[in-house]
């Protein structure tokens, strides 16, 4: 997952509120990690020793100043959706953990760095999804996603038609289509052959999945446009937000999914020493040939 631009001033105010005990911390431990569940009480106790109220998986509230996510990238996304606009500190107890700020063994130093203002707050867009039936007589807001909104045909070919701000772009017969934020560009977007949006790049990636057409290129569109994906043909499709399909309706032929920038932001704690490209090389085994030298300018 690519980074978003940093907000230093916001980070300082977060640390000040935590140090003063004016904000509480929400603690979420991944249910699939025995180590995360084992360490969760110890981490809670360490935070409380700093004078911070800690609540385990509380309902959203105005006094939450930080979410500590003990898991992988999936738990980071669920944390962001559960607590909109609240900064998330991810400590990796998962397999990949590209989005997380620290590995499990460094949880104590990660918390110390947050309290000492030695971090950055990276803010990225989210995606809001709405579906309208073929006749336009039924419409439903489906929530929002941190990573991506996906229309997928499953075992059958589907025929999505793409519109950008109401303008027709093309038909993409195949397995479906991915609409991805920069943060999600190293998830399904990259796996489907789409682009990786590195730190500071604005926009949204639109990627056809296994398109059965010579015109199959991905697009990068401004993040403030409205995308329409109309399901042409005879087959239904699944709607998937951040990898989750349960709770979302099957899309009948003729339905249109509208995707636009969400009202919330994804706020991620990151440390100033973080090297995005080094992390990308390490997590995805991207660097085939080792030992690249950094060029220097003369003078």
Q: What residues act catalytically?
A: 73
Burial-class residue 116 by CB neighbours within 10 Å (0-12, 13-18, 19+).
Answer: exposed
Rg (CA), the chain: 21
Tokens (6 digits) for 186: 């190293």
Q: Are 25 and 269 in contact (CB under 8 A)?
A: no
Taking the C-alpha atoms of 105, 108, 110 and 115 in order, what is their torsion angle to the nearest 10 degrees? 180
Q: How far apart are CA 64 and CA 24, in angstroms?
A: 5
Q: Are 92 and 72 in contact (CB under 8 A)?
A: yes
């Amino acid at each position: 997952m690519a980074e978003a631009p940093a907000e230093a001033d916001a980070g300082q105010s977060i640390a000040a509120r935590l140090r003063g005990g004016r904000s509480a911390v929400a603690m979420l431990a991944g249910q699939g990690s025995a180590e995360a569940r084992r360490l969760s009480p110890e981490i809670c106790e360490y935070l409380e020793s700093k004078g911070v109220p800690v609540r385990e998986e509380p309902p959203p509230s105005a006094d939450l100043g930080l979410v500590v996510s003990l898991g992988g990238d999936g738990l980071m996304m669920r944390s962001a959706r559960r607590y909109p606009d609240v900064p998330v500190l991810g400590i990796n107890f998962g397999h990949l953990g590209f989005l997380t700020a620290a590995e499990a063994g460094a949880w104590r130093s990660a918390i110390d760095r947050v309290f000492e203002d030695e971090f950055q707050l990276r803010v990225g867009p989210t995606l809001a999804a709405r579906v309208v039936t073929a006749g336009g007589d039924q419409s439903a807001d489906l929530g929002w996603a941190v990573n991506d909104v996906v229309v997928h045909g499953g075992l059958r070919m589907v025929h999505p038609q793409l519109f950008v701000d109401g303008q027709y772009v093309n038909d993409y017969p195949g397995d479906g289509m991915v609409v991805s934020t920069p943060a999600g560009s190293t998830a399904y977007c990259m796996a489907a052959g789409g682009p990786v949006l590195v730190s500071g790049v604005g926009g949204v990636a639109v990627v056809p999945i296994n398109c059965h057409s010579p015109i199959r290129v991905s697009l990068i569109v401004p993040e403030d446009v409205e995308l329409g994906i109309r399901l042409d043909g005879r087959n239904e499709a699944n709607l998937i937000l951040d990898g989750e399909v349960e709770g979302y309706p099957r899309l009948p032929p003729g339905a249109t999914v509208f995707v636009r920038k969400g009202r919330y932001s994804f706020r991620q704690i990151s440390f100033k020493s973080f090297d995005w490209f080094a992390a990308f090389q390490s997590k995805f085994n991207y660097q085939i040939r080792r030992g690249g030298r950094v060029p220097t300018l003369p003078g």
